Amino acid sequence: METKYNMVKKAIKSKIIDGTFTPHQKISSESELMKQFDVSRHTVRLAIGDLVTTGWLYREQGSGTFCADRSALDTKQNVSNQKNIAIITTYISDYIFPSIIRGAESRLSENGYQVSIFSTNNDHENEKRILEKILSQQFDGIIIEPTKSAYSNPNIGYYLNLERQSIPYIMINAYYDELEPISVVMDEEKGGFMQAEHLIKLGHKEIIGCFKTDDMQGTKRMKGFLKAHRHYKIPLNPKNIITYNTLEKWSKPIQELEKLLTTNNPDKATGLVCYNDELAIKLLDVLRLNNIRVPEDLSIIGYDDSTLSEVSEVKLTSIIHPKSQMGRDAANTIIDLISAKISTKNKDSSQVQSIVYSPDIVIRSSTKDLNPETITS
């Protein structure tokens, strides 16, 4: 124990124990210590290195070496030194969710996080079960895609508990309005507006809108749909709005659309705005069976710009959804939140902000220009 670096070590350690150095206080720099103890920098670094690995000090490049807060260390949890993130999603396999998950997973694993995935199957009971499980373990952060975001959430208590335990979480695709969480979402209302606007500008007057209304996306897209009609002063026939929920997604929209299109009324619709591409593709089938040509007889516009929009014989005009970019941004945001939490001196984590994507439209061949003066390509 009579080595030089051990003497330095013991000297610093005593000053911590007797309270000369208080937690988060900066200790002398390496060059100062060199002079104080008349040793080389190598020896100082050896001593400090040992004290860092045993949890007495921590170093910050550029700033200095600081006394650690050993009371916080007593939580003793993070033995494994393993960084964990949970992703809670409604569905794992359906539609665009895999792309979102993939984007998040790639970015998180790049940053050394391990990703655990849970799916609620859009059921609040499952969501509750998952949140209980997550709260009983130690996760560093959580990315949540809300379940039935249009309805009020019965599991608010669990989310508040996350905040109490200061576990960072963010919401993607939608959010529970009551919580006002940090979120990564699209401007869905504008997206819905753009869907309708596109058809209106092409000269369509009678437009059917078909929206899922048990999540936030659907209700906001519908809101945008209505707004566009008001904005362009197009009267909107209430009959032209079809709403459905998750359970009805393979039945009600199809039936309602067939009803609308087979009755012989004078002002038959020429446009169809769909909640998403999945629905649009399904309705394309219905139209084909009813000998309605797209886009000659009916223009149809989807949402999400999913892979589905390019597999059919009629390529869908659609609203672009960031998908994997959204996943990556969600990952970045949660990583920022976690590091903001760790750097305790900077309590101001309000730097981390929500992201809202402005939608964009991709025009393919499913929408037809009705304006006589315009030259269609």
User: Binding residues for its own copies, per CB under 8 A?
Assistant: 49, 53-54, 77, 79-82, 91-94, 97-99, 101-102, 105-106, 109, 114-119, 121, 133, 137, 281, 288, 308, 311-313, 324
Contact flag: residue 63 with DNA (CB under 7 A): yes
Q: How far is the CB of 284 from its own copies (least distance, A)?
A: 8
Q: Which does 203 bind (CB under 5 to 8 A by kind): DNA, its own copies, none?
A: none
Q: Which residues are within 8 A (CB) of 313 and not within 5 positions of it... i.e. 6 or more apart? A: none
Please tell me the chain's helix, strand, coil percentages from 3-state DSSP, rounded to the nearest 5. 45, 15, 40
CA–chain centroid gap for 349, Å, is 18
Contact flag: residue 39 with DNA (CB under 7 A): yes
Tell me which H or E stretch contains 89. strand 83-89
Stretch that binds DNA, among 56-64, 73-81, 334-342, 356-364 (CB under 7 A): 56-64
Q: Which is nearer to its own copies, 53 or 351 (CB)?
A: 53
Three-state SS sequence of 33-75: HHHHHCCCHHHHHHHHHHHHHCCCEEEECCCEEEECCHHHHCC
Contact flag: residue 53 with DNA (CB under 7 A): no
Stretch that binds DNA, among 30-38, 115-123, 130-138, 280-288 (CB under 7 A): 30-38
Distance (Å, rounded) from C-alpha 223 to C-alpha 336? 33
Q: Of 3, 36, 353, 365, which one interacts with DNA (CB under 7 A)?
A: 3
Q: How far is the CB of 297 from DNA (least distance, A)?
A: 56
Q: How far is the CB of 87 from its own copies (least distance, A)?
A: 9
Report residue 368: phi and psi, to 5°.
-115, 140
Residues in the chain: 377
Q: Which is nearer to DNA, 1 or 72 (CB)?
A: 1
Q: Which is nearer to its own copies, 86 or 196 (CB)?
A: 86
Which has the closest alpha carbon to 141: 117, 167, 159, 122?
A: 167
Contact flag: residue 6 with DNA (CB under 7 A): yes
Tell me which H or E stretch contains 25. none
Contact residues toward DNA (CB under 7 A) are 3-6, 29-32, 38-43, 45-46, 59-65
